[in-house]
Amino acid sequence: MSKIKKIIILFLLWGISATVMADAKNDQIQKLLDNKQYQKAYTTAEKLMDDRIGQVEFDYLYGQAATGIGRIGEAIFAMQRVITSKPDHYQARLKLARLYLAQKDTEAAYKEVAYLLQLKPPVKIHAQAIVILKKARSQQTRYFTNSLTGYVSLDFGYDSNVNSTIALDGGYLVAGNTLLVFDESAESKSDNYFKLAGGITSAYGLGNDFFVFGGLDAYEKKNQKEDDFDATLMSLFGGPGFDLQQHRFTLPIYYQKYLVGHNAYLARTAVSADWQYLYSSDAEVGASLSYGANKFDYLQERDVDNLALIIGWKKHMKDELNPRLGVNLQFGTDTAKDKLYDQYGRNYTQIDLEGSLTIWRDHAPYINATYRTSTYNAEDPLYNETRQDTFAYFEIGWRWYFIDSTFARLGYSYTKNSSNLELYKFDRNQYFLGVQYNYF
């Protein structure tokens, strides 16, 4: 027998013996787990970590041992390694969902088990997954059963255009063949401000996956000098909902009241049919169809009915940077209640983007953006021309979560409305510093 053949045979025998030894150690750990000797199982597995981390069977056993002695964080990392190497490992996904629940990360638990159900596991695992799904769903912070959540925030800032209007040169503007002369109050104005905001959401489970929910959001934006343009918004919402595995259906009703200078300005009522679908453990899609009415208190000619369709996508990736991404695409139409004022009706398309990262400890930079194009339904009487607008909004900021439920923020936003009609053009800069407390 040649030396090369001997080397090959020895190598194969070594590989076989190493596999047998590995299987023997795994069997030893499994036996300890079967006998509920979790500390011994963990100690045995820990000694093998350097050589066997990343091996599916070993990581699964290590995760069980860590769970048995209460090392939940280590158990989660172990089960995550298992499903990374073998995405269809049903038991690992089931145990990972339970571990998320133990850490009160109900959103992660819900998404993990929802994805497991997509894999069509065996009947026994499917039944256990449904139990976890219902438990996670009942605790979710969006609408967890018999719950109350809320927030309060306070911001201080500078606004370059508190009344969102055009910057006039000399106090006049030529619109078509008409000379428009404005008094000083109509020009764009800058000011310092503070903004106090808050909201609560409550939900109550009715059984059989039905629930009802409701809430209130409000803010007061107070300018230092230009109190004629102080802004107040109050929003009420509520309705029924139903969950079906990875799907959630809700029928919210909204009422909003907007005040300027503490005088009634605009009231909006709307009803919506919403759907959300968790198509993976860290992502969801959704759609919303709403119909509403905008009623202006002193400018009834501007009253419109609104119909809008929104399609959205969100993704929350579980890694060190904790990235969150979201996009909404909206198609809408405003129809003037009085056809004599059809110039206030429009068709529009809008896209909204949001994203954030956690780059260092509890520091999270974020970005929000909106882009909307609008074409109005009739000629503007001042210009004898149909109005076409492009609206853009951009916000960038930094959040610091210095307490689990509280963060400070620093941000900047820029707003620009472009139009083919000079009267409707404006831009706006805002700088702000604030703090927010969340109640769960």
Domain shared by 124 and 221, yes or no:
no
Q: Is the dihedral of CA 130, 135, 140, 146 positive or negative?
A: positive
Query: Does pLDDT of 395 surpass 70?
Result: yes
* Domain termination residue (choose one: 123, 139, 155): 139
> 70 and 181, same structural domain?
no
Statement to judge: residues 312 and 421 lie in one domain: yes
- Tell me which H or E stretch contains 88: none
Measured CA to CA, the distance from residue 404 to residue 8 in angstroms comes to 58
Is residue 210 located within the same domain as residue 122? no
Chosen domain end from 139, 160, 192 = 139
CA angle, corner 306, sides to 301 and 310, nearest 5?
A: 155
Q: How far is CA 303 from CA 221, 386, 421, 422, in A?
A: 25, 18, 21, 23
| Residue 24 CA from chain centroid, whole number | 47
List helix spans (H) across 103-258: 106-118, 123-139
Q: What is the pLDDT of residue 366?
A: 95
Task: Name the residue range of residue 376's domain.
Answer: 147-439
SS3 50: helix
Q: Residues in the chain, how many?
A: 440
User: In 10 A of CB 166, how many CB atoms?
Assistant: 20
Estimate to the nearest angstrom the gap between the alpha carbon of 331 and the chain centroid: 20
State the chain's maximal CA–CA distance in angstroms.
Answer: 107
Which tens digits make up the pLDDT trace of 19-52? 444 577 788 888 888 888 889 888 888 888 887 8
Which residue carries 């109640």 as its tokens?
Answer: 439
| Of 314, 322, 253, 320, nearest in space to 284 by CA | 314
- Same domain membership, residue 248 and residue 328: yes
**Mean predicted confidence (pLDDT) in 135-142:** 59
State phi, psi for 170 to the nearest 5 degrees.
90, 0
Query: Which tokens in the block code for residue 56?
Result: 């599916």
Look at residue 191 in the predicted model and tell me its pLDDT: 94
CA distance 292 to 54: 54
- pLDDT for 50 equals 80
The reply to whether 289 and 192 lie within a common domain is: yes
Round to whole Å and give the CA distance between 346 and 388: 9
Taking the C-alpha atoms of residue 287 and residue 276, their distance in angstroms, rounded to an integer, is: 7
In this prediction, residue 263 has a pLDDT band, given cuts at 50, 70 and 90, of: confident
Reported as a pLDDT band with limits 50, 70 and 90, residue 233 is very high
Question: 347 and 218 share a domain?
Answer: yes
Number of structural domains in the chain = 2
Q: Is the pTM of this model over 0.95?
A: no
For the cut 60, the answer to whether the pLDDT of residue 5 exceeds it is no
Place of tokens 């069997």: 27
The CATH number assigned to the domain holding 37 equals 1.25.40.10
Q: Residue 270's pLDDT is what?
A: 97
Per-residue pLDDT, 320: 62
